[in-house]
């Protein structure tokens, strides 16, 4: 999926969405939600951030992961990683395009050309643009918000980078979304605070292979408890408590 945006001003965002109106998606049996992301037409210092939302709507009930987006220009890449007609090292070309196994801070952060930094140790390389959500962390974020007494109607953002996510990633929640009943997925880009004040003329994103992985046989839990009690000689009381967990 190729997404082109023009005149993206500071703090502005652009997005597209996929509704699942006839068949809501149940993600409770999976451990991760993943996707490859490519971006070009800007520089690393422009502070662009890519985001993915999933929930029951686009604005009031959703989980969101937001993370920095690092650029990689596709023009001329076959000359750099090939002979002009075919790729000699297609794996290296793919790693550059999708910023997988990339140097911290991004390969070629100054935007001078698709060249891998030579002083980056192999053990230090990271998947910078790939989205990876550990789905159990979404439910944990909801629990943390509720324990802190934060408003359900206001956006609540976690304070640390989620496990397995790219550096600088943050999870947020608003409303009461559930991964057991996902009816909308939103993909977008945001020109964050502190970035380029002048609107970015043209930004291009590629979204590739949105998928769930890691079939989780444990899943969540649900059930109910019933109770009956006699209150001295006054009255009888009945109770039924049901619960469910993503």
Structure pTM? 0.81
Say how far apart CA 4 and CA 214 lie, in whole Å: 32
pLDDT at 196: 59
CB 190 within 8 A of CB 51: yes
β-bridge mates for residue 5, sequence order: 203
Identity of the highest mean pLDDT range in 80-84, 112-116, 176-180: 176-180
Pairing of strands 184-191, 13-19: antiparallel
Average pLDDT for 113-136: 77
Kindly give, in sequence order, each residue whose CB lies less than 8 Å from that of residue 144, ignoring residues fewer than 6 positions away.
158
Identity of the highest mean pLDDT range in 18-32, 119-133, 207-221: 18-32
Q: What is the mean pLDDT of the chain?
A: 83
CB 65 within 8 A of CB 59: no
How far, CA to CA in Å, does 62 sit from each of 44, 153, 178, 182?
Answer: 28, 11, 8, 9
More confident residue, 74 or 231: 74
Quick one: pLDDT band at residue 149, thresholds 50, 70, 90? very high
More confident residue, 132 or 240: 132
- Token code pair at residue 19: 């509704």
pLDDT at 116: 52
Q: Over 80: is that where the pLDDT of 180 sits?
A: yes
Say how far apart CA 220 and CA 129 lie, in whole Å: 30
């Amino acid at each position: 999926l190729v997404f082109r945006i023009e005149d993206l001003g500071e703090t502005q965002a652009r997005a597209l969405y996929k509704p699942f109106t006839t068949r809501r998606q149940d993600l409770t049996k999976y451990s991760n939600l993943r996707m490859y992301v490519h971006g070009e037409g800007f520089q690393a210092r422009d502070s662009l951030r890519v985001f993915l939302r999933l929930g029951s709507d686009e604005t009031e009930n959703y989980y969101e992961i937001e993370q920095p987006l690092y650029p990689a220009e596709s023009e001329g890449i076959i000359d750099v990683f090939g002979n002009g007609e075919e790729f000699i090292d297609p794996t290296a070309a793919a790693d550059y395009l999708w910023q997988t196994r990339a140097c911290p801070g991004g390969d070629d952060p100054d935007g001078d050309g698709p060249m891998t930094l030579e002083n980056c140790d192999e053990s230090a390389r990271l998947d910078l643009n790939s989205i990876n959500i550990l789905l159990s962390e979404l439910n944990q974020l909801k629990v943390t918000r509720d324990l802190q007494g934060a408003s359900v109607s206001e956006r609540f953002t976690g304070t640390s980078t989620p496990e397995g996510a790219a550096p600088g990633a943050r999870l947020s929640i608003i409303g009461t979304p559930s991964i057991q009943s996902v009816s909308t997925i939103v993909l977008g880009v945001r020109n964050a605070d502190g970035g380029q004040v002048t609107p970015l003329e043209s930004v291009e994103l590629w979204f590739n292979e949105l998928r769930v992985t890691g079939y989780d046989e444990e899943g969540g839990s649900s059930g109910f408890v019933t109770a009956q009690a006699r209150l001295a000689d006054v009255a009888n009381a009945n109770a039924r408590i049901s619960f469910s967990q993503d």
